[in-house]
Structure 1
Amino acid sequence: MDTFPWEITLTVLGVVIPAVAGVYEYFFIGRKRLGYRIQMDTRAFGGEFAGARHPSLVLVRIENNGSVPVDVDDYMETDPVGLSVRFPRRRVVRAFDPTRRGPSSPTNAVPELNQDPERADPDVLRLPRVPLNRNEHYKVLVLLDELDGDAAPDRDGDESDAVMESRIKGGRITRTRYRAGVSRGVVALITVMASLIVALYYVSGEDSTAAVDCASGELTVVGSTAFRPVVEKAAESYREACRDAPGDVEIRIRAAGSQEGVRALDEAGRGAGEDGPAMLAFSDGHKGDGHPQLLPRPVSFSLFTLVVNKEAGVQDLTPEQIRRIYSGRHLNWKEVGGDDLPIALVGRYSSSGSRRALEERMLGGATEPNVTSHDCRGRVPRPDNPALRCERGSTAEVLDTVAEVPGALGYAEAHAAAGEADRLHLVRVDGHPAELDAADRGVYPYWATEYAYTYGQPPADSLVAGFLRYITLEVGQDVIREHGQRPCADLANPRLCRPS
């Protein structure tokens, strides 16, 4: 049996409830409606006035707060009276229009009403049948006398004991009150809609397996060490999202360098069956020549940066200075304005995508010089390379070595390097830091496209395809952004996945 479609139900309710509330307000309770409000009810003059021994003044506001006009034929009181307002324990002395608006005044029929004190109901104010269009109103100021003989107390308008005793045809008369905030009906509607949104959020969260496109099985991810933090976080998030899905999800990560990962995927694919190996390879940059069975998919636009030991006394280099350092023509930091300290180059193995991006984007296609040191401190003489240069196997190892060796210079993925900024300096290139905006403007050159490779086209229901869709099209994009990179889907041309 299928589960109840809560998401659809809550969404429909979110549309239907406001619509029903609007129809109900317009066609039923609010179609023809008068409201009356006591805006003032206070004692007056401090003594006898105009025949009132204990006078009080009341300001009554009559308004059409419905959705259609009210005509003279809509009143149900005896002609010519339209509305009756009772003031318990008080006598109506006079009533008049306080605005004095001339012949068109709604109360023009009774501009000054002198009530007969001998009437059976001297506490009732009678108002004429006044036609009111939508949102129109009029006011009546009433002079009252206390029948109990006591001085009139001050009353707040909302606390006045005045009561409307009339009706209108096909509608109703309601007492309105002044509110500085939102009406109760609007508050109730907002509360209901907010509850639906919260419920929809939790229902969507509980049903995250369907949205994530979960698949079960085993997957091995190889390749870039620079991209490894993204893959680790994405794998953790994918496993969590698919925890209730049928079948287990196991994702193993073996990051040994971009080119090493590409070779491992190609080798595994040659020995696999028709569906290909359960393996993904991530590479900083294109796979290069060979490996014709590997299919690329751009995943993110990645930034890299040079990093330097703080004792070097350098934080900014020009592209020409960088090329001269890696060619061995600058061997001491004082030659580029730094301290008197030998330059120690900390590089990556030839399988590294970070290294290849450096050679292509920063060194003009030249390769890094050969290794002349194992500990990055003592140099082994080599006639083909006057520089001191060592190699490390991962981004983390490069960062540690640069931070520890005086005068060391290396390179790393920008987000990972930023996390070590307290131990080393991130080098600006011609004054420009490793930032996405600078790369977009074409003034920062050290970047690469991160590719995901599969051996052929994996089955759509496989974990390879599911995880690849997750990291390129779904929640995995947020993980990429968290690590300072830009998903290819965010760029103007996702297929090229390069700055504009």
Structure 2
Amino acid sequence: MVGIFGVEFDFNNIVAMVSVAIPVLAFVWEFVVIRRKRLGYRLQMDTLATDTAHAPSADVLARMHDDGRPLTEPSFVLVRIENAGWREIVAGDYLTPPDDRTGIRVLFRDRRVVGMAVTELSQPALRHFFVSTRQGVTQETDGFGIDEQDGSGLIRLPKVTLNPGAHYKVLAVLERRSGSPGAAFPDPEFQAEVTGGNSRSFAWLRWLARLKLAHTESHTFASRPAKVGLVLLATAVLLQSGLTLFWPTRPAPLDCVGGTLHVEGSTAFAPAVQAAAKEYAKLCEAKGAKIAADDGAFQGSGEGIAALERTGAAAGLKGTEGLADRIAFTDGPADEGHPEILPRPVSYALFTLVVNKDAKVRNLSLAQIRAIYTKKITNWSEVGGANIPVHLVDRHRDSGTRNALEKRVLKGRSVPEADVNDCAQLAHDKPGVCEVDSTDTLLDRTATLPGALGYSEASSVTSADLVKLRIDDMPPTLDGVENGTYPYWQTEYAYTYGEPPADSIAAAFLRYLTDQGGKDILREYGNRPCSETAYPLVCRPT
């Protein structure tokens, strides 16, 4: 996305504009600049007379004489002079002094011009530029004739007035004057320029076009810059076609908002938020939407709320303004004492207790769970499992997942205080408690520590070394939550600092997450969107 004069253009727009600009510029260059006045020439023949002697009857061409003297290596040259532009070329356009009747000079190095004649005129009236009749005698005009320059042969051509498309041809006979016998002759040198007129308004145009004698060869299709332009045009069209066919871009929906959004908070809810953020950024890419949602941003519900408040306080907002680029997600409502932040229920999430498979336990009653967390049960053999001590792996106190466990499963009782911060320091032969700072860390420690018991959002549990515990014979399912037979769940909240502006990326992402395509992603991660409940603002199982 590129901004020009306040207007945003994506790559396809730029290619399309270039595709239009190239033919317009090529047309202007070719037909307005280059071909305004274009005096061109074609060297249609330059050959030795001996090169034509391929038949006995052609040998006479090599035996030409000049005043009885045989010509030395005679050669023939046929030159065509033409007006390849769309404006008339007149005598004043030739860049030579006014008293010089010659407009074009053709120099032949190592050769002498023996004779010449005008062989073709596109208009009979052009004849008067080459010959005139004085006192009954026909003779060449002053600007037309044979001459020498620096020891080389020279043909002088007059300042002929040429209408667009008009031309004439000159045939000349030459002989070798210097150089090694049989050596190739240097190419003829054409010396002429066109002024393009004396108007001051076209001075810049004359410099840009460099209106000089142009080698038009055997056609007048286009100049070299125009051909380059055509190649660029073809490249741009092919590039745009390829992008359209193989890399199609979706236009951003009307309610997309660009900018950068920062999300943070719950580690349990992070996978669902990250997936939704990735999809929103992709959907609104044309608007320049970006969402910073890496794992480092999710440090727990409590830390997310604290970071949101710090950012809001530092922003210096006035009146009813709210942060436009920051959202914190929590498992359950935040504690009291946060008057500047506003909650929005997003979904309710399914949680589960997870146990290391070595414990040989798959089902616990609520009473057994509460006994374990009050340390009345300290070995898995007491509930029918393996003879392994119970190791509790807990989240820190500001974790929403831990708060949901304490509120809904433990009936308001707190989990035991940690014996150590590093779970690796727990003794394997006796019970103990440790704490970790994220859902991923908790699942990893529980999977590797024999007899470990932890808790997490149900969709985050993927390790084969972990077992999702049934509670009172009920598996962790949303149906169980909605039927009231499974107790471990929590409402997920999105918090903003004040009310974000309606046209901000924060407001747009919340709309996407709660009322648009984000709902499908929430369901994929085992959550029930609040908009699908009977009372969306309360967002509780019915």
TM bracket, shorter-chain basis: 0.5 to 0.7
Partner of residue 293, structure 1: 340
Partner of residue 276, structure 2: 234
Q: Deviations over 1:417-451 (max 9, x none)?
A: 1x22x221100000001101111110100000000
Distance 1:482 1:444, change over 3 A: same
Partner of residue 398, structure 1: 442
Deviation of the 1:303 alpha carbon: 0.6
Work out which of the residue numbers 526, 532, 536 in structure 2 matches 1:484.
Answer: 526
Partner of residue 261, structure 1: 304
More displaced stretch, 328-337 vs 251-260 = 251-260
Partner of residue 276, structure 1: 322
Unaligned runs of 5+ in 2: 1-244
| Matching of residue 209 in structure 1 with residue 252 in structure 2 | yes
Deviation of the 1:378 alpha carbon: 4.3
Please, what TM-score do these two structures have when normalized by structure 2? 0.51
The code of the aligned residue for 2:380 comes to: W
Deviation of the 1:366 alpha carbon: 0.9
Contact 1:376-1:388 within 8 A present in 2 as well: no
Q: Distance in 1 between matches of 2:369 and 2:251?
A: 48
Q: Distance in 1 between matches of 2:397 and 2:431?
A: 18
Partner of residue 390, structure 2: 343
| Matching of residue 225 in structure 1 with residue 267 in structure 2 | yes
Q: Deviations over 1:311-346 (max 9, x none)?
A: 101110011111111111111111111111000000
Deviation of the 1:210 alpha carbon: 2.1
Partner of residue 149, structure 1: none
Q: Distance in 1 between matches of 2:413 and 2:371?
A: 11
Matches within 5 A, 1:38-437: 209-211=252-254, 213-245=255-287, 247-253=288-294, 254-272=297-315, 273-274=317-318, 275-277=321-323, 278-376=325-423, 378-379=425-426, 388-417=432-461, 419-420=462-463, 422-437=464-479
More displaced stretch, 260-269 vs 318-327 = 260-269
The code of the aligned residue for 1:262 comes to: I
Q: Deviations over 1:165-199 (max 9, x none)?
A: xxxxxxxxxxxxxxxxxxxxxxxxxxxxxxxxxxx
Q: Distance in 2 between matches of 1:248 and 1:314?
A: 47
Contact 1:344-1:377 within 8 A present in 2 as well: no
Deviation of the 1:379 alpha carbon: 4.3
Matches within 5 A, 1:417-496: 417=461, 419-420=462-463, 422-496=464-538
Q: Distance in 1 between matches of 2:465 and 2:337?
A: 40
The code of the aligned residue for 2:311 comes to: A
Q: Distance in 2 between matches of 1:250 and 1:335?
A: 49
Q: Distance in 1 between matches of 2:290 and 2:448?
A: 39
Q: Distance in 2 between matches of 1:484 and 1:208?
A: 30
Contact 1:224-1:353 within 8 A present in 2 as well: yes
3-state DSSP of counterpart to 1:244 = helix
Q: Distance in 1 between matches of 2:393 and 2:432?
A: 9
Distance 1:320 1:208, change over 3 A: farther
Q: Distance in 1 between matches of 2:293 and 2:467?
A: 33
Distance 1:469 1:369, change over 3 A: same
Distance 1:377 1:292, change over 3 A: same
3-state DSSP of counterpart to 1:367 = coil
Q: Distance in 2 between matches of 1:345 and 1:249?
A: 39
Q: Distance in 1 between matches of 2:506 and 2:346?
A: 15
Q: Distance in 1 between matches of 2:308 and 2:402?
A: 20
Contact 2:394-2:435 within 8 A present in 1 as well: yes
Deviation of the 1:377 alpha carbon: 5.1
Q: Distance in 1 between matches of 2:289 and 2:421?
A: 43
Q: Distance in 2 between matches of 1:424 and 1:252?
A: 27
Q: Distance in 1 between matches of 2:492 and 2:251?
A: 27
What is the number of residues matched between the two proteins? Answer: 289
The code of the aligned residue for 1:305 comes to: T
Deviation of the 1:218 alpha carbon: 1.8
Deviation of the 1:208 alpha carbon: 5.3
Q: Distance in 1 between matches of 2:426 and 2:446?
A: 16
Deviation of the 1:484 alpha carbon: 1.3
Contact 1:372-1:387 within 8 A present in 2 as well: no
Contact 1:491-1:499 within 8 A present in 2 as well: yes
Contact 1:217-1:248 within 8 A present in 2 as well: yes
* Higher Rg: 2
Contact 1:300-1:486 within 8 A present in 2 as well: yes
Q: Distance in 2 between matches of 1:313 and 1:335?
A: 12
Contact 2:278-2:291 within 8 A present in 1 as well: no
Partner of residue 183, structure 1: none
The code of the aligned residue for 1:459 comes to: P
Q: Deviations over 1:447-471 (max 9, x none)?
A: 0000001111111111111111111
Q: Distance in 2 between matches of 1:248 and 1:226?
A: 25
Q: Distance in 1 between matches of 2:333 and 2:436?
A: 22
The code of the aligned residue for 1:301 comes to: Y
Partner of residue 499, structure 1: 541
Identity %: 47
Contact 1:309-1:402 within 8 A present in 2 as well: yes
Please, what TM-score do these two structures have when normalized by structure 1? 0.56
Q: Distance in 1 between matches of 2:424 and 2:377?
A: 17
Q: Distance in 2 between matches of 1:258 and 1:222?
A: 8
Unaligned runs of 5+ in 1: 1-201, 381-385
Partner of residue 70, structure 2: none
Contact 1:282-1:452 within 8 A present in 2 as well: yes
Deviation of the 1:206 alpha carbon: 6.5
Deviation of the 1:288 alpha carbon: 1.7
Contact 2:389-2:431 within 8 A present in 1 as well: no
